[in-house]
Amino acid sequence: MRFILRRLGFYLIAAWASLTLNFLLPRMMPGDPASVIFARAQGRMRPEAIEAMKQAYGLSDDPLPVQYWNYVKSVFSGNLGTSFVYFPAPVTDVIKTGLAWTLLLGLTAVILSFVIGCVLGIVGAWKRGGMVDSVLPPLLIFVGSFPYFWLAAVALFFLGFKWDVFPLRHAYAEGLSPAWDWEFIRSVGSHLILPAATIIVVSIGGWVLGMRNTMIGVLAEDYVTMAEAKGLSQRRVMFAYAARNALLPNITAFGMALGFVLSGALITEVVFSYPGLGYQLLNAVRGLDYPLMQGLFLMITLAVLTANFLVDILYVRMDPRVRSR
């Protein structure tokens, strides 16, 4: 319990740090933020947008701590400002749709990658010298060296464009409206396969290697020898004794991978025009939509922190040694 409380305290501090960073970013730009933004927009912004922007930043002549306090208050009351690009939609509305898609893509990709990678790593370490052990890790590491976006672009070109196996862009077919019917779900699924597959293929090598290395360490332990001496079946020793303990360091890595996926998914979303948080973030940057950029960054950071916290809770349940600390 103490472990969880300590981790919660840490995540709260990290959340506060990202909130402060968000606050400081527009003020870090050289010169007065308002005039810089106006100059950069070069007449592309309507007067209402300028007013909204000033309000969104609390850009007043108040001293910095007052501005900071106003900003924190507005964030906690759910007011993240008004978007420029999607004016007059509030930032929270724009983010809501993006969050759902990013979670779908990111969670699917990282969970599948983790499960498949760990199983391959377990099998590879168990059957030492076999094909899984000698061929697969270097091959997967090589594939994992390719930059996400490049692999995604090539996959999109061949599988989407040339051979027309998978759809080219977006999260569901144009013309369909979101509803809980079979047609929509099927469309979402078919649009999800290619983006998720590219993320999985690139990241699976790390899991295979990590799991294999920890398994090799665990297999030398006495309790594995004891289990075999007791006459338990190979499968039971492999999964219930060895893998269960080898899994623990990888659970911590899983938490970190969640963070990576949410940022790596950014590029995948851009290549596939998948309307998640990352895609929206890039459009916001291109359109100089500062409130939206801030809101999206905050949302991405909070998602990563929440995911890590949930993984920590999972870790406590899986490793009894931590509870006694």
Partner 1 sequence: MIEQRAEERPATAPAGTIAGVVTIPQGQGDQIPARRGLRAPTFERVRPFLHNRKAVAGALMLLFFFAVAILAPVISPGDANDIVSRRHLAPSSEHWFGTTGAGQDVFDQTIWGARQTLGVGIMVGILTTMLSALIGMTAGYFGGKIDDLLSLITNVFLIIPALPLLVVLVGFLGSGGSWYFIAVLTVTSWAWGARVLRSQTLSLREKDFVSAAEVSGESTFRIIFVEIFPNMTSLAAANMFGTTIYAIGALSALQFLGLGNPSVISWGTNLYWAGNSGALLTGAWWTVIPSGLAIALVAFAFALINYAVDEVTNPRLRAQRLASDALRKSGRSLRKAGRATPVVRHAA
Measured CA angle at 279 (ends 195, 85), to 5 deg? 155
Q: Answer yes or no whether residue 262 interacts with partner 1 by CB under 8 A.
A: yes
The whole-angstrom separation of Cα 154 and Cα 144 is 14
Shortest Å, Cβ 179 to partner 1: 31
136 lies in the site for partner 1, by CB under 8 A: no
* Binding-site member from 45, 216, 253, 322 for partner 1 (CB under 8 A): 216
Q: How many residues bind partner 1 (CB under 8 A)?
A: 64
17 binds partner 1 (CB under 8 A): yes
Identify which range of 26-34, 73-81, 112-120, 175-183 contacts partner 1 by CB under 8 A: 26-34
Minimum distance from residue 286 beta carbon to partner 1 (Å) = 7
Min CB(318)–partner 1 separation in Å: 21
Residue 78 Rama label (left phi>0; alpha psi -120 to 50; beta): left
Q: Which two tokens stand for residue 220?
A: 């030398």
Q: Among candidates 165, 151, 243, 239, which has minimal Cα distance to 200?
A: 151
**By CB under 8 A, is residue 38 in contact with partner 1?**
no
Binding flag, residue 103, partner 1 (CB under 8 A) = no
Q: What distance lies between CA 104 and its chain's CA centroid?
A: 10
**Residue 272 touches partner 1, criterion: CB under 8 A:** no
Pick from 39, 64, 135, 154 the residue near partner 1 by CB under 8 A: 154
Residue 8 interacting with partner 1 (CB under 8 A) = no
Return the ∠ at Cα 318 (arms to 314 and 321), rounded to 5°.
Answer: 120
Q: Which of 136, 243, 270, 311 binds partner 1 (CB under 8 A)?
A: 270
Encoded one letter per residue, x for contact with partner 1 by CB under 8 A and - for no contact, window 50-89 reads: ----------------------------------------
Query: Is residue 42 exposed (0-12), middle (13-18) or buried (19+ Cβ within 10 Å)?
Result: exposed
Residue 195: asked if its preceding bond is cis (omega within 30°), the reply is no
* DSSP assignments along 73-105, one per residue: HHHHTT---B-STTTTSBHHHHHHHHHHHHHHH
Cα(71)–Cα(221) distance, rounded to whole angstroms? 54
Q: Footprint of partner 1 on this chain (CB under 8 A)?
A: 10-11, 13-14, 17-18, 21, 25-26, 28-29, 127-130, 138, 141-142, 144-150, 153-154, 156-157, 161, 213, 216-217, 219-220, 224-225, 228, 256, 259-260, 262-264, 266-267, 270, 278, 281-282, 284-286, 288, 290, 293-294, 296-297, 300-301, 304-305, 308
